[in-house]
Amino acid sequence: MIARVLAVFAKEVRDALRDRRTALMVLVASIVTGPVTLVLVAQFVSGLEERAAHLKVRMAGAEHAPALVNFLRRADVEIEKAPGDYAERVKAGRLDAVIVVPADFHERWLAHEDARVQLVFDDSRTESGPAIRQSSRLLEAFNRETAQLRLMARGVSPSLTESAKVDRVNAATPQQRGAVLLFIIPMFALLAPLLGGMTLAIDATAGERERGSLEPLLANPVPTAVLATGKWLAAWASASAVVAVTLAGFVTASRLFAERKLPALLQFGLPELGLFLVVVVPLAALTSAAQMLISTYGRSYREAQTYVSYLATAVTLVPLAVMFSGAREAPWQAAVPALGQLMALTRVLRGEGLGVQDALVPGAVALVLAVAAVAAVARLLRDERIVFGRS
């Protein structure tokens, strides 16, 4: 029996590899996914950090506020004169934030009167966020310093003004900050087996029937379970290979970034790759089996393709739905296919390590369901209506 399963497996793999164009397309897509994603994400993140790290404000009417300018200079902030049409520029997104000082500011400030500045910004654009926060924090700091100096001048302790002093400590390590953005890597890791198993799963079921090779195949003295198992193993192998290539792309890309000293986005090296494979390869068994089961129902190759693409949508939506439903992480979620894997992968990326249970529960669930799906395919292949078409 094992020899026959292997015969089916070998034939399907060979057949799939001979489909050069499809194989090459899948390969290229999976190789470039990692680098392209990381380049885009890294550019976005480093752009944000760069803007924030280099302190710089734009001012209009700086000459009316010598004290503020003095404060900013001491804080090592670069002051740039805002162009006259700053309002339009802010609106158009070419300027992040502008501090506007009216002509009477200095006199009023000296007189302890109601001295005002304007902070002009457009917070509908997220990338302006860091610059807006920076400017407003600097203004607050200027206020605090002025107030403290004035209180001291009157013999009042400055600590009176701040009953609770806030020290800002950002608990997110660079790695964690990366993981927030790189919710994307687990998502790709979940989608890779779908991409990798699809062609083979459809071709070996709906394709086999459409090309008229299913009937003669079934005339061989081989139980349908053997055929279904061989085909499934081939689809699983293909899915796993694509997963490995995709993730290897991420490893390579993250190495390249480490050299360029871009922010430590994520730790994604060989150990993480290994853990990812431990989690995703069992999932690939399930996705391939599910794709086969769905395709066996499809009346044609086309129809099977359509149904199978719904599966990809489901795999993407299940974790998202649970996340946005606000449900807290609960043990049962580990047993939900795709969601359990996503949770485990996120843990790996957060650097929290992968417990035996974290990998075992989703993996076992996936394998059990996969075997059930393969058994269902074997049963369908004994169904006359499925084999000879439904009328």
Partner 1 sequence: MIAAAKLAKRFGAVEAVREVSLEAADGRVTGLLGPNGAGKTTTLRMISTLLAPTSGTVAVDGIDAARDPLAVRARIGALSDARGLYARLTARENIAYYGELRGLARSRVAESTARLAALLDLEPLLDRRTEGFSQGERMKVAIARALVHDPPNVILDEPTNGLDVMTTRNLRDAVRRLREAGKCVLFSSHVMQEVAALCDEIVIVAGGVVRAAGTPAALREAAGCEDLEEAFVRLSGAAPGAGP
The minimum distance between CB 215 and partner 1, in angstroms, equals: 4
Q: Count residues contacting partner 1 (CB under 8 A)?
A: 27
* Residue 21 found at the interface with partner 1 (CB under 8 A): no
Distance, in Å, from the CA atom of 193 to the CA atom of 240, rounded to the nearest integer, reads 6
* Residue 11 found at the interface with partner 1 (CB under 8 A): yes
Distance, in Å, from the CA atom of 211 to the CA atom of 185, rounded to the nearest integer, reads 38
Among 68, 201, 214, 247, binds partner 1 (CB under 8 A): 214
- Name the CA radius of gyration of the chain, rounded: 30
Q: Which of 248, 267, 257, 232 is nearest to 192 (CA)?
A: 248
Strands 56-60 and 97-100: parallel
- Determine if residue 168 is left, alpha or beta; phi over 0 gives left, psi from -120 to 50 gives alpha, anything else beta: beta
Q: Which of 365, 353, 363, 349 is nearest to 186 (CA)?
A: 349
The minimum distance between CB 15 and partner 1, in angstroms, equals: 5
Among 43, 70, 173, 213, binds partner 1 (CB under 8 A): 213
* Residue 7 found at the interface with partner 1 (CB under 8 A): yes
Residue 41 or 227 having the CB closest to partner 1 = 227
| Bridge partner residues of 119 (DSSP) | 99
Neighbours of 246 (CB within 10 A): 26
* Residue 18 found at the interface with partner 1 (CB under 8 A): yes
* Residue 14 found at the interface with partner 1 (CB under 8 A): yes
Among 220, 300, 306, 313, binds partner 1 (CB under 8 A): 220
Structure tokens at 172: 């997110």
Place of tokens 């059990």: 368
Stretch that binds partner 1, among 14-22, 64-72, 111-119, 278-286 (CB under 8 A): 14-22
Neighbours of 182 (CB within 10 A): 25
* Residue 50 found at the interface with partner 1 (CB under 8 A): no
* Residue 2 found at the interface with partner 1 (CB under 8 A): no
* Residue 164 found at the interface with partner 1 (CB under 8 A): no
Amino acid at 158: P
* Residue 19 found at the interface with partner 1 (CB under 8 A): yes
**Helical spans, DSSP H, in 260-335:** 270-297, 301-324
Residues whose CB falls within 8 Å of the CB of residue 305, separated by 6 or more in sequence, listed in order: 198, 202, 298
The minimum distance between CB 340 and partner 1, in angstroms, equals: 37
Binding mask 221-250 for partner 1 (x = CB under 8 A): xxx---------------------------
Residue 23 or 48 having the CB closest to partner 1 = 23
For residue 336, CA distances in Å to 77, 82, 365, 371 come to: 51, 55, 8, 16
Write out the binding residues for partner 1, residues 256-295 only, by CB under 8 A.
none
* Residue 212 found at the interface with partner 1 (CB under 8 A): yes
Binding mask 191-210 for partner 1 (x = CB under 8 A): -----------------x--
Among 77, 79, 151, 218, binds partner 1 (CB under 8 A): 218
Among 73, 125, 211, 299, binds partner 1 (CB under 8 A): 211
* Distance from chain centroid for Cα 265: 12
For residue 109, CA distances in Å to 58, 70, 104, 283 come to: 20, 14, 9, 66
Residue 259 or 384 having the CB closest to partner 1 = 384
Return residues touching partner 1 (CB under 8 A): 3-4, 7-8, 11, 14-15, 18-19, 208, 211-223, 384, 387-388, 391
